[in-house]
Amino acid sequence: MLILTLKFNELMIDKFTFQQKFAHISKASLLLIIDVSLERFPEKASALISFIEKKNIAECLFYTINIRESFAYIFHDMELNRICHHLSEASEMEDYRKMDEISIQFSAYMDQFINDLKILKNEISLNH
């Protein structure tokens, strides 16, 4: 059984790296990036879970890569990146048991990522 460590009590987004990466853009633009992510991440995450349940390998691969590039890399969330990486590997191997196990962890982490985005948005709103 694949075990992933989920740290639900601490912010997994690397705020410092995120803010360094986007230091050249305005506060309003940063907040827009977060707002769009708060809107689109749940949609993409739900689609990924649905395709895992349907055992649609091609769509699973597409959505794991999309989520990594659209959210994990932008916000430097290593846990989200790790989960998506393991989902991609399991999909490529067509290991449905492992995909199901990891999807449970992904589902549990979705709320944490959304909460982290909200915390980051609040901190940017207050501190800049």
CATH number of domain containing 77: 1.20.120
- Determine the structural domain holding residue 120 and report its residue range: 26-127
Q: How far is CA 21 from CA 15, 17, 72, 94, in A?
A: 10, 6, 14, 36
Angle, CA of 69, 71 and 72, to the nearest 5°: 75
Q: What is the pLDDT of residues 45-85, one digit of tens each?
A: 999 999 999 999 999 999 999 999 999 999 989 999 999 99
Q: So what's the pLDDT on residue 59?
A: 96
Please provide the average confidence, as pLDDT, over all residues in the chain. 88
**Total number of domains constituting the chain:** 1
pLDDT interval class at 7 (50, 70, 90) = very low
Q: Does some domain include residue 74?
A: yes
Q: Is the pLDDT of residue 25 over 50?
A: yes
List all residues 6 or more positions away from 107 whose beta carbon is below 8 Å from its beta carbon: 49
Q: Does some domain include residue 82?
A: yes
Q: What is the model's pTM?
A: 0.84
pLDDT interval class at 3 (50, 70, 90) = very low
Q: Does some domain include residue 17?
A: no
